[in-house]
Chains A and B, each alone.
Chain A
Amino acid sequence: MTLLATLKQRLFRWQSDGTAPFQLTQRRIFIVPTRAGLLFALTLVAMYTGAINYSLALGHALVFFLCGLALIGMNHTFRNLFALWITPGRATPVFAGEIAYFPLTLRNERKTMRLGLTLQIDDNPAVSTQIAAEGIAQVAIPLATLRRGWLTLPRVRLSTVYPLGLLYAWSYLQPEMRCLVYPRAIHLPLPPEQSLAQAGEHDGAGGDDDFAGFRDRQPADSPRHVAWKASARDGGQRPLLIKQFAGGSARELQLDWALTADAGDNERRLAIMTGWVLAAESAAAGYALRLPGSDIPSGRGAAHRTRCLEALALFKP
């Protein structure tokens, strides 16, 4: 670590804030004048010189008042951040190249509003927010994604110039948050469907053809598959039921790592497979995913898709 980085670390106390809600204390709020503040200070010097030169008693009073205002402003700018509660949320996965949003909940326990708050990660677009008196505000901090895998939330700068714009107060937030980034999808035609014989061990699990009984509905199941009549028995007290079918294995899609062998490097192969998963899902076909080291049996629905995409995102060749 360079000297400057060490110094910064000491000064700004970069350390994880964990996953629990935390409150901003005075030790982590910093304050400096803004450019406008420097201009204001220069103006005050000019005004003071004028007041002396023309012996303006009220001119002195005005300059001293503005000095007082700036001092008070420092207090109020600081106060705009002080004792703010921050609760980390859960980031929704995105595809590489998209913008990941890290949700934070800001809670204001004070009886006055907090206006003009800005959250920003390095040079990414900033988000502005305000919190009502004794209220909460939800913000999602944008961060551009480049690579698949876990994206850890870097240091977030929470800053404000409210109320006077003459001083800039900021605090670094580092809640332990991460966002899963799926590989970037490359859309190529789906591979041909493979027969059951070729697939071997995938024997009749979760097809669409022959009725094989009921099971409890999972959130990932499509409402089209709900057995409404069966669910309505017993006065609707039991969870919704899903009709289960057997067979259809002949139309099952095998998304196999081996199929992309001649596509290029690993990342490109993963991207192609991601595109396949998305296409297979919207083609309403069951599909299985095979990667070296992980093997996801055939299925469909949002949960299955998520499982496949997660495997692709976290794949380590």
Chain B
Amino acid sequence: MSTRSVSLDYRCLPWLFATALATTAPHVLHQPIWLTLVAGAIFAYAVWLWTRNQRLPGRWPMIALALLACAGVALEFRALLGRDAGVSLLVLFMLLKLLELRSQRDAMVLITLGYFLLLTHYFYSQSIATGLWLLATMVLVTATLIRLNGGPASRPLATLRYAGVLTLQALPLMLILYLLFPRISGPLWGLPQDAHKARSGLSEQMSPGSIASLALSSEIAFRVRFKTEIPPRNKLYWRGPVMDYFDGRTWRPGVSATRAPEIQALSPAISYESTIEANQQRWLLALDAPSPELKEFAIKSTLTVTAPQSINQRTRFSLLAVSDYRFNVDEATAVLQQNLALPEQLNPRSRELARSWRKASADPLLTVNKALNFFSEEAFIYTLEPPLLGENAIDDFLFQTRRGFCEHYAAAFVVLMRAAGIPARVVAGYQGGERNPIDGFLIVRQSDAHAWAEVWLAGRGWIRVDPTAAVSPNRVEGGIVSALPLGEPLPPLLTVRSEWIRGLRYRWEAINNAWNQQVLGYNPERQREFLQRLGLAAPDWQSLTAILAAVIATLMLAISAWTLYQRPRTDPLQRLWQQALRRLARRQIHCAPWETPLALQRRITASDPQLAILFAAVVESYLANRYSARPGDLRQLREAIAKLP
């Protein structure tokens, strides 16, 4: 209604340029380079046209440009509707709109697009820094909006300040809506293929080097909060995929049995809460072993706990574990057979060695110990940079190179066991973790990724054996940094030994964790908990909406009262005069807006001479105070007013 065909004030343009730049610039970090170059060129062209006061391109060139942009994006992403393609299109359209700024309405469209673009940044990051940067951008976009509607009289600083004031006033409303607005858990419909980018983490197969590559990342895999004391480090085995099929090089999960695992708890359950970063996998990396009381999640026959869907975003799970347990004392024969299989012809020396051990003793436990002694007594080295292995990888490793990371030891150990006739398999997951003293969370990083072995002994079930511990006991007791010799290419953040920097890192991670847990993790369940703490047990959305409306209305009233409240004029003389007029009004004598004191006095003289005498004193004193060169005190006037009837 108001923006109809009103031509744009060209002095607004720097604001609009700034808005377009600020809302699109962070996308430079993840969009293809050609797109950044094209966007930059369009922006530069728009600014050049403005500085030279040139005509904007006509309608057909714009349509051609828009089609070209679509074609470019379609070629790059092979789609127009995916997440990344959509974001790129929005960025290009935002900049193309700069070439089309003719009317006020165009500018409003640009600003609305700018607000929308702010949302797209959260696809890529929701960190504190992103939040702050976008808050600043939001103030800028709002300032642009204000400038656009304020006309030429608005000054830049005042406009920015006003935008800041509006932002500050909008924040409490945002907070209330964030806490109370009925939350819906997404997604509402199928997401595009690229909705969640693959992120680093454990994979479902293991070959030499696959875990060592994770050790180079100090990224956080998950955070755990124990309700009680954190168990000792050598008990912190977080189970991921279990792999029992071996092709000579790569380990994969075999055909999984359908029956439920049989867990006997020998110690009380430990309750903990794990917040897992998005990893596109389903396993919950539960602490060994999951308690039989854990009913919310599916537990595979290999003891791996899985979520109903793959974890596409940081999610919190409540879990239970038992540290002493017996697992599948009665195992299916088919499973045991599968865990004895080895590829024929490969690794003849290893098989020979294992068979010799087995001949020496019938007790499988002794064979296990022999293998572990072999690792600890021979000159094995624990390193992130093992040499390449040939076709008979296990033979090469055991008898020649003898340098390897945990996946080498686990794989070699399992091959030895199987050759000796003991059912064995590889388990991948994480081991250990680091306690953040600031918030008490246990942080498990990608660098804590680990692989170990599991053997099945009659009457004992599956038991965990960690051959890495035999080679390098420090890996299990002190973590990877203490286990590896100096000079290994570990990420700098991990190797810092300065207490001060480490304390800073703990603090920063604790802040990030609080942000993740309290702000980003506020989901429908958290909302229910919060409302319950407020005394609203299981509110339905109607009552929630009613409460929300009431709170918002109260807040709006408060803000209105505050912004509309006008301080009364502080002129005491004026107040006294008004007081005198109120006294006259009681006698039905009203002073007209144009009537001077003397005129009023004359009018009263005509109608009520007695009152006029009293009123004359008021008028005289008032005029003396108001207009004389040396205003006297107000006492006289007060007395005169007091004498009025």
Contact = CB atoms under 8 A, between A and B. Distances in A.
Contacts of B148: 165
Contacts of A228: none
Given A68-B171, A110-B566, A50 B149 contact: no
Contacts of B150: 115-116, 130, 162-163
A58 interface: yes
B374 interface: no
Given A21-B593, A71-B173, A165-B3, A116 B149 contact: yes
B112 A72 contact: no
Contacts of A47: 115-116, 119
A230 B133 CA distance: 80
B166 A69 contact: yes
Contacts of B559: 72, 75
A57 B115 CA distance: 16
B122 A68 contact: no
A47 B113 CA distance: 11
A195 to B, nearest CB: 50
Nearest to A44: B115
B162 interface: yes
B282 interface: no
Instruction: Name A's interface SS.
Output: helix
Contact of A168 (B1, B187, B519, B564): B1
A53 B145 CA distance: 28
B556 to A, nearest CB: 6
Given A68-B173, A163-B149, A113 B158 contact: yes
Interface string B555-566: 010011001101
Contacts of A40: 112, 115
B594 A34 contact: no
B187 A55 contact: yes
Given A54-B195, A57-B522, A109 B173 contact: no
A57 B170 contact: no
Interface stretch (B176-184, B198-206, B266-274): B176-184
A73 interface: yes
B170 A72 contact: yes
B174 interface: yes
Interface string B137-174: 01000100110111101100010001000110111111
Given A68-B170, A110-B566, A165 B108 contact: yes
B570 interface: no
Contacts of B523: 55, 57
Contacts of B181: 60, 64
Contact of A75 (B105, B134, B162, B556): B556
A64 B188 contact: no
A113 B150 CA distance: 10
A87 to B, nearest CB: 9
A49 B116 contact: no
Most B CB within 10 A of own CB, among A39, A109, A163: A163
Contact of A62 (B134, B162, B592): B134
Interface in B295-323: 313
A57 B126 contact: yes
Given A58-B520, A60-B178, A113 B153 contact: yes
A302 interface: no
B48 interface: no
Contacts of A124: none
B60 interface: no
Interface string A60-103: 11111111110111011001001100000000000000000000
Q: How large is the interface on A (under 10, 10 to 19, 20 to 34, 35 or more residues)?
A: 35 or more
A60 B520 CA distance: 10
Nearest to B83: A54
B552 interface: yes
Contacts of A71: 170, 173, 552, 556
Contacts of A49: 188
Contacts of A52: 184-188
Nearest to A74: B556
Interface string B117-140: 011001100100011001000100
A43 B313 CA distance: 25
A159 B2 contact: yes
B189 A164 contact: no
Interface in A147-161: 159, 161
A15 to B, nearest CB: 18
Nearest to B190: A53
A146 to B, nearest CB: 26
Contacts of B122: 51, 54, 56, 58-59, 62
Given A52-B186, A72-B166, A83-B564, A67 B130 contact: no
A4 interface: no
Interface string A16-48: 000011000000000000111001100100110
Nearest to B150: A115
Nearest to B146: A163
A2 B105 CA distance: 36
B534 interface: no
Contact of B162 (A118, A161, A163): A163
Nearest to B569: A109
Contact of B191 (A46, A54, A115): A54
A109 B142 CA distance: 26
A113 B152 CA distance: 13
B119 A51 contact: yes
A36 B105 contact: yes
A128 interface: yes
B174 A72 contact: no
Most A CB within 10 A of own CB, among B115, B149, B170, B592: B149
Nearest to B112: A43
B166 A76 contact: yes
Contact of B187 (A53, A67, A110, A164): A53
A47 B90 CA distance: 13
B521 interface: yes
Interface in A124-179: 128, 130, 159, 161-165, 168
Contacts of B149: 115-116, 161-165
A43 B593 CA distance: 50
Contacts of A20: 592-594
Nearest to A51: B119
Nearest to A75: B560
A141 to B, nearest CB: 17
Contacts of A165: 2-3, 104, 108, 145, 148-149
B186 A69 contact: no
B142 to A, nearest CB: 7
B109 interface: yes
Contacts of B594: 20
B141 to A, nearest CB: 10
Nearest to A70: B170
A51 B593 CA distance: 57
Nearest to B4: A35
A62 B123 CA distance: 13
A43 B115 contact: yes
Contacts of A51: 119, 122
A285 B602 CA distance: 46
Interface string A223-251: 00000000000000000000000000000
A116 B112 contact: no
A104 to B, nearest CB: 16
Contacts of B183: 60
30 contacts: A20-B594, A21-B593, A34-B2, A35-B105, A36-B108, A39-B112, A53-B188, A54-B186, A54-B187, A54-B195, A57-B521, A58-B122, A58-B126, A58-B519, A58-B520, A59-B122, A62-B119, A65-B171, A66-B115, A67-B174, A76-B563, A79-B563, A115-B151, A115-B153, A163-B145, A163-B146, A163-B162, A163-B166, A164-B142, A165-B149
Sorted from nearest, which 7 A-B pairs have the closest CB atoms? Answer: A68-B173, A68-B170, A64-B177, A57-B520, A115-B150, A36-B108, A65-B174
Given A55-B185, A163-B145, 13 more contacts: A35-B4, A36-B112, A43-B115, A51-B122, A57-B521, A58-B126, A62-B119, A62-B122, A65-B170, A71-B173, A83-B564, A161-B3, A165-B2
